[in-house]
Structure 1
Amino acid sequence: MEEQALVIALVGVLGIGAQWVAWRTGWPAIVLMLAAGFLAGPIFHVINPDEAFGSMLEPMISIGVALILFEGGLSLDFRELKKYGRAVSRLVLLGVPLAWLFGSLAAYYVAGLVWPVAILFAGILVVTGPTVVLPLLRQSNVKQRPAAMLKWEAIVNDPFGALCAVIAYEYFRLSADGATVFEVVPPMIIAAALSGLIGYAAAWIIAWSFPRGLVPEYLKVPVLLVAVVGVFVLCNMVEHEAGLLAVTVMGVALANMNVTSLRSIHPFKQNIAVLLVSGIFVLLSASLDFEQLRTFEWRFGLFLLAVLFLVRPATILLSLLFSDIPWNERLFLAWIAPRGIVLVAISGLFALRLNELGYADGSILIGLSFAVVVATIVAHGFTANIVARLLNVTGVERPGLLIVGATPWAIALAKQMHDLGTPVLLVDSSWGRLQPARASGIPTYHGEILNEATEHNIDLGHFQVLVAATDNEAYNALVCSEFAHDIGTDSVYQIGEAEDDGDHRKLPSSLKGRALFSSGLGVADLHKRQMEGWVFRRTKLSDRFNVEDARETLPEAANMLLLLKPDGKMRFFTHASAPEPQAGDTIVSYSPPRRKTPEEAAARKAAKTSAASRSAAT
């Protein structure tokens, strides 16, 4: 009991610790999680998952994978298919059989596996999986289209890869008794279709019951988690690994049923996914046995090279042949295909079953699957950004600024930041209010920012900071609250709230974004200053010109708004905190129209120095 609790605690520390180190260093998180588990398990023997959990380890990992696939399915909106549907369908309908075929040939002719084991293992190799692709995309700077295609492929192909392995296994098991392909495959397809229907039915029940108040708010998350686990286990009883297909269908169906009450649980499900991915990766790598690594032969190394440089490129290039996807994006997709949890988990399951059928090569699958996982994660994790730059499929290089509300002040800020090279997007529901911004060459989006469709029309991954600057303070707070989970609570700002006047009551700070300016200027304050001709100014700091010198050149009433770092990161002066300016930073301030002359600034600085000297003398 205590040993199990200790292992769970260590797995949590190692998994989340690896994610934190990845965030701080920019290294691929999946590589660090694998390394952490490998060091804690076979190297230093601090963790032994098999001894700690015994027969419970496999079902724990299986349920964890099911929850991850469900969470991934919730991120798939069919509206994305309007842009990428044809390419995604090619990756699924053509990519899966092609990957299975080429993988089988490589496993037989290069790795030297017998045909039954080669075909089954190639079926599992079809998967890429959200457990590895989504963290990789989160840390990479990739254009929206190739990133969306990789995400869809990873989530949709995961259950299909498992089903390919099941079909191969059932055929080889029953063929010993004289069964033919037509006797094995149709029942499997029917079982898969039934599992998909069960997943869809479960999604429909949830989508029908939640908005009608049949489930209280505090029970919605527990009910959803129990429903996912129940659907997974039930469909696995119908057919092995069919539960993965069912929970994927369940997640995708729920994502497209417009269940507004599910939006409130998105942060929770994302946190669950991060914990599960971290824990499962550490557990699997910690359970690796050196005996399995000793079975690794030189021809397995050639097999890994074939998977990286032959199987994946041939699959993608043939699947997307004659499509409208540019060649640079096809080549990027042909390179990126990390494998993860599902590959190792399913390989371990079928390795035992193949041994029972008399195929000696079955025991090799565990070590070989780990080799594929490590090779693809390291190769793709460390090179994704490099290859993206070489093929010109990178997204916005500098952090972007999303401004909501086309007020005169917001347009002036957008123009200033646009001139400084910061990617800016100005959003407003009024076409007329956006006209001055369009005339100035500022990128704009005409639409309601809180409309769910807007999230699919704007790639939020390009924007690290949001400023809500409409004339309505409550609306600004609502926008900040809505996007805090996507952009970060520390990166959503709004125009400060005016002082209380009569019946006016301030909103609680927990409902608002961070108030801009250290003095917390309100909407009316900024509108008045804008009418008086206040302007944005930028000042570059250096070793010889510090922040105090910059203040001396500005009028008394000027307010510093933000620091722009050399790498494009923005740090705002707020009512609660102020960043520390350094040499190389650019200060953007909001000030009255007249700037001090150099003579006035020098005189004021000399007066301050003289006053300080007299004070010290007394």
Structure 2
Amino acid sequence: MHTDPILVTSAVAVVAGIISQAIARRLRLPAILPLLLSGMLLGPSVLGVIDPASLGEGLRVLIGFAVAIILFEGGLSLKADSFRNAGATIRNLVTFGALLTWGVSALIARWLFPELGWGLSLLFGSLIIVTGPTVIQPLLASVRPRQRVSDVLRGEAILVDPVGALYAVLVLEYLVEAESIGKGAVFGEFGLRLALGGGLGLLAAGFLYLLMKRRSVLARDLHNLAVVAIAIGAYALSELLISESGVLTVTIAGFILGWLHPPGIEKVEEFKSQLTTMMVSIIFVLLSANVALAGLVGLGWNGLWLVLAVIFIVRPLVIFVSTLGGDLTLAERLFLAWIAPRGIIAAAVSSLFALILSQGGEPLGELVLYLVFAVVVGTVLVQAPTARWVAARLGVLEGDRNGFLFVGGNTIARALARALDRAGYAVQIVDRSQWQVDRARAEGLHARCADALDPLEIENFDLFGIGHLCAATPSDGVNRLAVQLYAREFGRENVRAIKLESSPPDDLSAGDPMYAFGSRLVWEDFLERLNAGQEIRSAEVDEDLAVDEIGRLLPGAVALLAIDEHERVRFLEDDDPLTVGEKLFYLTPGSDVESTGDSP
């Protein structure tokens, strides 16, 4: 039987990558571990099913496109709020923090592996500057540290990738071309890369913004594909003009587009996230297929000391220097010092550069590749499983999650969200309708256009501070699915659906959701009351009473929620008691009743 190595390699990489992702999610492991193991197992050194060399120059192009998509998606996901919360720390980490990582790592590599010389040691140092959003984002979603700690790690992971890649390019060109074109020309070309990447990134973001603002230009189902095509096109154009400038172009384009926030950007983020998952899976399987376990073991004790030095010396030094004079606590700085797993960008760029070095006759290029992979594996193995334990010990886990996620952006959801927002609680609305999302944003609410029932989209939600769900759509089926899905995240006692007239009664033994507000208020009645001008208000309870007594004190009012002095939230059922000191949220028709501060 005739076998086509290109076909087999490509198909097996896709299948193995997706299976590895599924295993990682099922076992709650960093995806990079099963991807690495499957690639090494299927590669030439073990089973020989995958042969990346059969792809020839196509592998190099594929790596470039994958890096472009990953960095563009990372730029999109980096929000301006991150800079408001931790801008100075992020700036320090991606500037002289990156330089410090580069220099100290190179010194240690030169000491432990003197055969590298200064040139390849500096190349190694530049390659491990990057951390990478593909590893950091899932880790943060699992650990849930404080908001500003999360902002620092996310911002650093996204912005330091192009910085590290550009430093690596500078060192590589110095090694390969300095003798032929001169040292001055190498540094001059580096400056041109910065200028081109910044300028072309701005132009690409501006063009994409105008395209998405004018929805009539393209059919709706082509928007996501058009954004991907333009991002890849900008990357390719930048690479054609000056090699290795594309990484900066796509990162800046993604960040600026995310900051401008054109209509439909959430759908683009969703699509790009799925595409990134696919690209990471395929590329990492292909890259790790070139890595033999014997090669990693062959690094010996010095390889282990190098990995430990990166974890216990380089990272803590960088964090404590970069946060000097800042407002981060010692515990927060210690946690940041512990977390810096390397990922796909480090692996991809090192593989690409090892190929270039080998073509240029440098026999030690493969040693650099194995050292980088050792750092990737070591940092993920050590830091990912221990991150939550370390965060708990240091006391930097996210505080009480008292905020609310509303599935549905309709009148009912917005009214509840406005009342809670005014009372100081974090609220977030998710709806598939851009029109409903725009209405919520116009009212000052945080809203996202997405499918709240899609697990892939849920991974992209920023749920910091959110610990309660209210499913408020006019579909009982959607509400039930939302309650069942988010009960895993928030706990069954913190998820509710608003009952419809057509909804069946609660059947807890069958796993059906408990409806918010009992039988006192169904969806249709709630909507009718709001359309008639009734409002949701809050007041402090100053005497013990039952929920059904509220109507006696506030004629026509319906009790909705109660929050005690410990910030615990209760969706009020028909016969629930109210105690002194609780904050009560209620729906009332009275226009003469003052809002917050009244006492029923």
Normalising by the smaller structure, the TM-score range is 0.7 to 0.9
Match of 2:348 in 1: 345
* Cα deviation, residue 361, structure 1: 2.5
Return the alpha-carbon distance in structure 1 between the equivalents of residues 274 and 110 of structure 2.
41
Q: Which deviates further from its counterpart, 148-157 or 488-497?
A: 488-497
* Residue equivalent to 1:307: 310
Shift in Å, 1:207:
0.5
Q: Contact between 1:351 and 1:366, CA under 8 Å: does it hold in 2? A: yes
1:570-593 deviation digits (Å, cap 9, x = unpaired) = 9xxxxxxxxxxxxxxxx9993447
What TM-score does the superposition give when structure 2 sets the normalisation length? 0.72
Does the 8 A contact of 1:497 with 1:520 survive in 2?
no
Q: Give the superposition deviation at 1:465.
A: 4.8
Q: Does 1:444 align with 2:433?
A: no
Aligned to 2:38: 36
CA distance in 1, matches of 2:487, 2:237: 38
Match of 1:428 in 2: 417
CA distance in 1, matches of 2:34, 2:515: 37
The CA RMSD over aligned residues, in Å, is 4.2
CA distance in 2, matches of 1:46, 1:249: 39
Deviation at 1:255, TM superposition (A): 0.2
Cα displacement (A) at 1:328: 1.1
CA distance in 2, matches of 1:249, 1:114: 34
In the alignment, which of 243, 248, 254 is matched to residue 245 of structure 1? 248
Aligned to 1:90: 92
Q: How many residues align?
A: 498
The residue matched to 1:497 in structure 2 has which SS? coil
Question: d(CA) in 1 for partners of 2:46 and 2:487?
Answer: 37
SS of the residue corresponding to residue 28 of structure 1 reads coil
**In structure 2, how many angstroms separate the alpha carbons of the residues matched to 1:520 and 1:39?**
60
- Mapped to 2, the partners of 1:265 and 1:489 lie a distance apart of 27
Partner SS, residue 299 of structure 1: helix
Q: Which digits, 9 at most, give the CA deviation of each residue in 1:340-381, with x for residues without a partner?
A: 222122222222433455544223112212111111111111
CA drift at 1:520: 12
2:54 is the counterpart of 1:73: no
Native 8 Å contact 2:402 2:426 kept in 1: no
Deviations 1:230-250 (A, max 9, x none): 111121223332111111011
Q: SS at 1:318's partner residue?
A: helix
The answer (yes or no) to whether the contact 1:141–1:396 under 8 Å persists in 2 is no
Q: Deviations for 1:280-315, whole angstroms, at most 9, x for unmatched residues?
A: 222222232356446524322221121111111111
The CA deviation at 1:118 is 0.7
For residues 446 and 262 of structure 1, do their structure 2 counterparts lie closer, same or farther at Cα, with a shift above 3 Å needed? closer
In the alignment, the residues of structure 2 paired with residue 250 and residue 67 of structure 1 have an alpha-carbon distance, to the nearest angstrom, of 11
Match 1:264 to one of 264, 267, 272: 267
**The residue matched to 1:402 in structure 2 has which SS?**
strand
Is the 2:145–2:391 Cα contact (8 Å) retained in structure 1? yes
- Cα distance change of structure 1 residues 283 and 226 upon mapping to structure 2, 3 Å threshold: same
% same residue: 31
What letter corresponds to residue 428 of structure 1 in structure 2?
A: A
Structure 1 CA distance for aligned equivalents of residues 427 and 348 of structure 2:
47
Which of the residues 173, 185, 188 maps onto 1:186? 188
CA deviations 1:399-447 (Å, max 9, x no partner) are 7662659xxxx99xxxxxxxxxxxxxx963248x966xxxxxxx62489
* Match runs of 1:555-574 below 5 Å: none
For the residue of structure 2 that corresponds to 1:139, the secondary structure is helix
Residue aligning to 1:547:
none
Q: What is the DSSP-based 3-state SS (H/G/I as helix, E as strand, rest coil) of the residue aligned with 1:467?
A: strand
Contact 1:111 1:302 in 2 (8 A): no
Structure 1 runs not aligned, ≥5 long = 412-425, 436-442, 501-513, 537-560, 562-569, 571-586, 595-618
Contact 1:142 1:393 in 2 (8 A): yes
Q: Helix, strand or coil: the match of 1:114? A: helix
Residues 390/593 of structure 1: CA separation in 2 closer, same or farther (3 Å cut): closer
Instruction: Give the Cα separation in 2 of the matches to 1:337 and 1:357.
Output: 32
User: SS at the partner of 1:80?
Assistant: helix
Show the 5 A alignment for 1:282-321: 282-290=285-293, 292-293=295-296, 295-321=298-324
Q: In the superposition, relative to structure 1, how do residues 275 and 201 fare at CA in structure 2: closer, same or farther (>3 Å)? A: same
How many Å separate the matches in 2 of 1:262 and 1:178?
A: 44
Deviations 1:461-507 (A, max 9, x none): 453652056xxx66x99x989x99x979999864133469xxxxxxx
Per the alignment, do residues 456 and 297 of structure 1 end up closer, same or farther by CA in structure 2, a change over 3 Å counting? Answer: farther
Structure 2 alignment gaps of length 5 or more: 431-439, 449-460, 504-512, 529-535, 537-544, 551-559, 561-568, 578-600
Cα deviation for residue 48 of structure 1 reads 1.3
Q: For residues 178 and 6 of structure 1, what CA distance do their matches in structure 2 show?
A: 42
Pick aligned residue for 1:25 from 23, 27, 51: 27
